[in-house]
Structure 1
Amino acid sequence: MAEHNQPALLSLVVPVHNEEDTIKIFYDAIQKVSPEVDAEIDFHFIDDGSTDNTLTILRELANVDSHVHYVSFSRNFGKEAGLYAGLQQAKGDYVAVMDVDLQDPPELLPEMLTDVKSGEFDAVGTRRADRKGEAKLRSWFSAQFYKWMNKVSQTHLVDGARDYRVMTRQMVDAILSLSENQRFSKGIFTWVGFKTKYIPYENRERVAGSTSWSFWNLAKYAIEGIVSFSTMPLTIVTFLGLLSFGGSIIGGLFIVIRALISNSSVAGWPSMVTIMLFIGGIQMLSLGVIGRYIAAIFMETKRRPIYIAKEKK
């Protein structure tokens, strides 16, 4: 922790990907609230393989402000890699994770840091109280994800929770100790424990630019979360296998008994085809689910680095 004669240091971890329109707006917004923050602030931008002028802008900021630091990846490794890299680089007594598009309100920072510094909480996170401005279908799928994730996993996720949070150094070190390649930060933040408070706020739209998170990307991210923090899909597949097996036994007994009683059989191509497709579908579903878990194991056993830095300051 900081010395008594020195202010505490709050490190802001900010992953960015093609965010040339928002970086300076974000930087200025933080500067406006910084007098109310009871700590010195430094920035750790993580450039996730941007193809626009993001890196140029980060270089310019770092040249004029010694509190601005950045890491630029050799390619796009994904936001999870950016978060991990940022937490590695952050040296503050307290660490905050924020999005650069100002959907995470900077004006909440003073309150969040004060609550953490009080010692009552190890982390103060945020959650959206509503989803105004978001597509209804996307909102519905997000709500369903949180609902079912909490049913199939022992790791509880707060509905609407954002990555935006302020954490103690102890909690950050605990998160960094989990060096898995297949990362799902929302689950990791909860899995490591520590007492966390959530502040609700009304949903905000991006201040500029456009999101790189398509519906398909969000769907893949949801699958990643389920695979990382739940084995329930494997249990469901096992149940379907037992159900199919039990149904085949009952069907076989029915055919034998009918043959003994009436010595007749009725042609049933439609029903046979339906049964074959049903059983084949269960088999393909089972292989797909099991394959997804095997793929996760395969990626972990490679022990590849979570990211590769090309430039940093």
Structure 2
Amino acid sequence: MQTNHPLLSVVVPMYDEEEVLPIFFERMHPLLDGLGINYELLVVDDGSRDATAALLTAAAAEWPQLRMVRLLRNSGHQAALSAGFRLARGEYLVTIDADLQDPPEVIAELLATARDSDVDVVYGVRSDRSSDSWGKRTTARMYYRLMCRLVGRDLPFDAGDFRLVSRRVVDTVNGLPDDGRVFRLVIPWLGFPSAEVKYVRAERAAGTTKYTLSKMFRLAFDSVTAFSAAPLRLATWLGLFGGLVCFAVVIGALVVKLSGQSVPGWTSTVLAVGLIGALQLLCLGLLGEYVARLFQASQKRPQFMIGYDTLEDPGHHSYAQAVEGQEPDQR
């Protein structure tokens, strides 16, 4: 491993990516070597249960610039990115996923744009998402439109976690609280000078996506609650709306009663009680989400725990053999 600080750090979060790793190495190794600069490839293994860690440590023994950091448990994509930000040493940092849907060949263009334009952030913006399913494209479009309304117009549309940032941005992000950090919102919010590089999003090179629909909804909800108090305001407006509806129901009931056309029944009562109850539960749920975030922040638990770093322990072979000897549920 290099002892001096590299110019470029490429941070790659991984979780159960043993199928895509051979293709990843085949494309990334010659590409980074061809840049002609001092670099490090920092792979954050997010507690994989397959042979990802063993393959990475074996590759690191033959690839000096490859550095593998293994988290003690699966902490999530954004937490793995936080670990990469915390440990990367480069003057510039690129984050990219392991599935190769974001082409690593664009890294050279990101770096050239940052240096030529003298900006601190260069976003990789997807100009073509035809490789994604209709559902993925639709939910992504809804997500970015919602985030633009809540966070601001500075949020680049169709820019995920494929970006380049300068050391100044890395140090600023590392100084922020870890709780609920969503990088695709935090970095635009900081307001550093930025540029964009467009690219065509490809299909996953191998394996299956680890970002399920439930995880995408969780990311969207974390994005909203971490950056906006709009849900709390929504609860207030829903309460006012429910009050107006109930007031209208009361007026209608009085009119019917005074006209002598009232019929004893329970339908209107059930509807009114059900509406009020639903609004109350929704408002309590929204308030509970914010209280839960405050509770988690008060616990001051670390967002991630590092179990192994090849930079600190160069004994790649012994560790790889130990991981290979474990059962999948013990990794």
In the superposition, the TM-score normalised over structure 2's length comes to: 0.86
Is 1:293 aligned to 2:290, yes or no? yes
Q: Which amino acid aligns with 2:203?
A: E
Distance in 1 between the 2:284 and 2:131 partners?
39
SS at match of 1:310: strand
Distance in 2 between the 1:288 and 1:165 partners?
35
SS at match of 2:179: coil
SS at match of 1:42: strand
Inter-CA distance 271–130: structure 2 relative to 1 (3 Å threshold): farther
SS at match of 1:75: coil
Inter-CA distance 300–33: structure 2 relative to 1 (3 Å threshold): same
Distance in 2 between the 1:41 and 1:127 partners?
23
Q: Which amino acid aligns with 2:277?
A: G
Q: Which residue of 2 aligns with 1:175?
A: 173
CA deviation after TM superposition for structure 1 residue 172, in Å: 0.9
Is 1:159 aligned to 2:157, yes or no? yes
Q: Which amino acid aligns with 1:136?
A: W
CA deviation after TM superposition for structure 1 residue 113, in Å: 0.4
SS at match of 1:181: coil
Q: Which residue of 1 aligns with 2:21?
A: 23
Distance in 1 between the 2:150 and 2:220 partners?
13
Is 1:283 aligned to 2:280, yes or no? yes
Q: Which residue of 1 aligns with 2:249?
A: 251
SS at match of 2:225: helix
Distance in 2 between the 1:123 and 1:95 partners?
10
Alpha-carbon deviations, 1:191-221, whole Å to 9, x = none?
A: 2221121222222111111111111111111
Q: Do the aligned partners of 1:37 and 1:113 also contact (CA within 8 Å) in 2?
A: no
> Which residue of 41, 51, 55 corresponds with 1:53?
51
Q: Do the aligned partners of 1:98 and 1:163 also contact (CA within 8 Å) in 2?
A: yes
CA deviation after TM superposition for structure 1 residue 188, in Å: 1.0
Q: Which residue of 2 aligns with 1:199?
A: 197
Q: How many residues are treated as equivalent by the alignment?
A: 307
Is 1:34 aligned to 2:19, yes or no? no
Q: Do the aligned partners of 2:5 and 2:89 also contact (CA within 8 Å) in 1?
A: no
Distance in 2 between the 1:266 and 1:154 partners?
53
CA deviation after TM superposition for structure 1 residue 263, in Å: 5.6
Alpha-carbon deviations, 1:66-102, whole Å to 9, x = none?
A: 2111111111011111101111111111111111121
Q: What's the % identity of the aligned pairs? A: 30
Q: Which amino acid aligns with 2:271?
A: T
CA deviation after TM superposition for structure 1 residue 163, in Å: 0.7
CA deviation after TM superposition for structure 1 residue 250, in Å: 3.9
> Which residue of 68, 71, 80 corresponds with 2:69?
71
After superposition, residues 140-155 of structure 1 pair within 5 angstroms as 140-154=138-152
Q: Which residue of 2 aligns with 1:123?
A: 121
Is 1:307 aligned to 2:304, yes or no? yes
> Which residue of 66, 84, 87 corresponds with 1:86?
84
Distance in 2 between the 1:37 and 1:109 partners?
9
Is 1:210 aligned to 2:208, yes or no? yes
Q: Do the aligned partners of 1:36 and 1:110 also contact (CA within 8 Å) in 2?
A: no
- Structure 2, unaligned stretches of length 5 or more? 311-331
Distance in 2 between the 1:137 and 1:7 partners?
42
Distance in 2 between the 1:43 and 1:102 partners?
15
The answer to which structure, 1 or 2, has the higher relative contact order (CA under 8 A, 6+ apart) is 2
Is 1:95 aligned to 2:90, yes or no? no
- Structure 1, unaligned stretches of length 5 or more? 1-5
SS at match of 1:118: helix
CA deviation after TM superposition for structure 1 residue 7, in Å: 9.8
Q: Do the aligned partners of 1:155 and 1:190 also contact (CA within 8 Å) in 2?
A: no
> Which residue of 102, 105, 109 corresponds with 1:104?
102
CA RMSD of aligned residues (A): 2.0
Q: Do the aligned partners of 1:8 and 1:38 also contact (CA within 8 Å) in 2?
A: no
Distance in 2 between the 1:70 and 1:60 partners?
10
Distance in 2 between the 1:29 and 1:275 partners?
62
After superposition, residues 225-244 of structure 1 pair within 5 angstroms as 225-244=223-242
Q: Which amino acid aligns with 1:18?
A: D
Q: Which residue of 2 aligns with 1:3?
A: none
